[in-house]
Structures are given as structure tokens and as C-alpha cells.
Amino acid sequence: MTAAKTEIARLLARPLEHLVTAADALRAARHGDGVWIRGLLEFTNRCRCNCLYCGLRSGNDRIARYSLTEEEILRTVKAAFLRGVRTFVLQGGEDPDWTTERLCRLVEGIKGTVSAEAAVTLSCGIRSRREYRSLAESGADRYLLRFETADPVLHERLREGIPLARRLEALSDLRETGYEVGSGFMVGLPGETEDLRAANLKLCADLDLDMVGIGPFIANPDTPLGDLSSGTLEETVRMTAACRILLPDANIPATTAAGSLAAGGREAMLAAGANVLMPNVTPLAYRKRYLLYPGKDTIRRDGIQELETIAGRLQEMGRRIDLGRGDSPAFRRRLITQNEFRDGQN
């Protein structure tokens, strides 16, 4: 049984230092000092959706659209693999040119080009249950789909008519298909209340997520929300720490948005329970066009060359890079329970 919303609200009301200390101790006990590295590849910035907060929204004609070719993606993945990266996150808008058949060929190509042992995470929006199944059969291991906000009215408004229930249905399809499932939310979206902050965390716990992505909302002037205030680092850190306490076995990345909002943002998340970093391996020529929000931290730096800098910074924090696959302990636990249940039935 997951925590009640009132308990979560009480947790959130605790002094920030207490939360951070408790979360960091839990992270150390359950995950150790290693920080999993994922190579983030932003393969298309075309999107048929029109989410009010996002620079990739279809209504934004101020960005130059691109989509990487299969060859470019495979070349990029191979280069990162040779530098030791074993997990790749393919993220993009809901681009109709990337049909499921094409994505399946890509996933098979990645596994064939580098190694079947490499983990492929997809983050390319809502698809049908059948499509999720085909992608899993082609070798996709994990899927990231943030619910963004647990408030159904706000969700529908911010995502231009797409109901929260549809997002949750997709998350349920992903779980049933056998993916390691990630979701999460933005911090500081317009209309966020204390009650909603607790509801966001409760939804993560109710979904028993394997991975949780939490990042501040950053106002983008090229969107209808451009004049609003962004989320704060302090609130993002508070939500990260509370999330670690509620979901001790989940993998939690220190997100690019936190690093873009404030210098040291990702380090602050790592100190508050996060245990994953996602250096950007997208070819530099495309990087500046994947502008979800202004000031994106990874536009100039090559994620792979950055590994050495990251290693140095982690060492100062008493942490270290871990280049393994880094399956979520929450996911492994679920697999064991499912297998035991199946054995008990036979």
C-alpha cells in the first residue's frame, strides 16, 4: 500500500536539510555511490503535439526542425558505446515520420551494431499497446513517459486536449508489455499547489515506477507560457528527496533541466537521492535545435568528452561513474515477484 497524500504532504513540510539527508542515506544504502550513465540522443525535434510548455510544440515555427537518419543515429551510438556507454535513451517528439516499423528497425540496428547487452530506452510519446509490444519485441528495454502533472484538468489544458487518463493508459500498456517504466513530472508548472505537489509524488508511488524523471518547468518565450515564472531548484530538490524516500529502489536521474536552471543543479539533485546522469550524445550540429526551453545546459558540450569532467565532479562528491546497464532495482524486484507468482501457479 502506498503512502496517503496527507502523509506525503507531511513529508514535504519537513525541513529541506532533513529530507535531503534522509534521501541521500537511502540512496547510499540501496544504490551505493555509483551514478549510472545514459547516453541521451535527441533524434527528432518534430512533433505533432502542441503542449503549451514545450519548445518543440507543433505551433512553434521559430525552431528549425530536424530528424536524424538511421545512419547518423547508429554512428552516434557506436561512438558512445566505444567510450563505454551501455545505455541509450532515444528521445524525440511525436514525429509521424518515425513509424513504429522504422523505430523497430532502428532498435534492432542498435542492438546488432553495438551489443544485444546494451539497454535501449525509448522516450517518444504515446503509441498504441500493439506498437509498444512490437518495439519491445525488437529489443527496446525501457520507456520514459512523464505524466507531467497529476491534475487532470491542468494536464488537459497544458497538453492541448490530451487527457491525463490517456497518458496513464499508455503507462499501463508499457508496464503490461514488460518494459522497465519511467514517468514523472515537472516542478513549478502554472497552477501547481502544495496539494498538487503531494499528488504528483503519490501518483509516482501508486504507479510503482522503476524510474522517475523530475525536472523544473522552464518558461520558454517561444511558447504560450513564455511570460510565466519557472520552477525553482529548491522545490525540485525537495521533490527529488521526497521521491527517493517514497520509492527507494527507483532510478532517479539528475535532470538536464535542473542543470540548465541553475549552476550546480544536477549536483544538488545527486546529493538529494538521484543516482543517474544522462550526458547528451546528440551530434552537436543538432543540439541547439532541440530547444525545449532556453538556456539548455548541454548545447555546447559533447556529452562523451564531458564524461571526464563528470568523473571529476562526482569524485569530489564521494561518488563515481558507473557504466553498467544499471537496471532499476525496482524493476528487478518486480520480475522476481512475477516469476515466483508464475512458479507458484504451475
Q: Which three cell numbers stand for residue 77?
A: 551510438
State which of residues 24, 72, 94, 131 lies at the interface with ligand SF4 (CB under 6 A): 94
Residue nearest to ligand SAM (CB): 54
Quick one: what does residue 186 bind among ligand SAM, ligand SF4, none, with the CB cut-off 5 to 8 Å set by partner type? ligand SAM
Which residues in 173-232 contact ligand SAM (CB under 6 A)? Answer: 186, 215, 217-218, 220
Q: Identify which of residues 87 and 220 has a Cβ nearer to ligand SAM in the complex.
A: 220
Binding mask 135-174 for ligand SAM (x = CB under 6 A): ----------xx-x--------------------------
State which of residues 8, 40, 51, 189 lies at the interface with ligand SF4 (CB under 6 A): 51
Quick one: what does residue 218 bind among ligand SAM, ligand SF4, none, with the CB cut-off 5 to 8 Å set by partner type? ligand SAM
Which residues in 102-141 contact ligand SF4 (CB under 6 A)? Answer: 125
Question: How many residues of this chain interact with ligand SAM, rule: CB under 6 A?
Answer: 20
Select from 103-111, 119-127, 237-245, 306-314 the region that touches ligand SAM (CB under 6 A): 119-127
The minimum distance between CB 295 and ligand SAM, in angstroms, equals: 10
Quick one: what does residue 88 bind among ligand SF4, ligand SAM, none, with the CB cut-off 5 to 8 Å set by partner type? none
Q: Identify which of residues 218 and 239 has a Cβ nearer to ligand SAM in the complex.
A: 218
Which residues in 11-50 contact ligand SAM (CB under 6 A)? Answer: none
Neighbours of 296 (CB within 10 A): 19
Q: Identify which of residues 24 and 94 has a Cβ nearer to ligand SF4 in the complex.
A: 94
The minimum distance between CB 143 and ligand SAM, in angstroms, equals: 10
Q: Give the Cα separation of 195 and 193 in Å (integer).
A: 5
Q: Which three cell numbers stand for residue 66?
A: 530536424
Q: Give the Cα separation of 86 and 76 in Å (integer).
A: 13
Q: Are 174 and 154 in contact (CB under 8 A)?
A: no
- Binding positions for ligand SAM, rule: CB under 6 A: 53-54, 56, 91, 93-94, 123-125, 145-146, 148, 186, 215, 217-218, 220, 257, 292-293
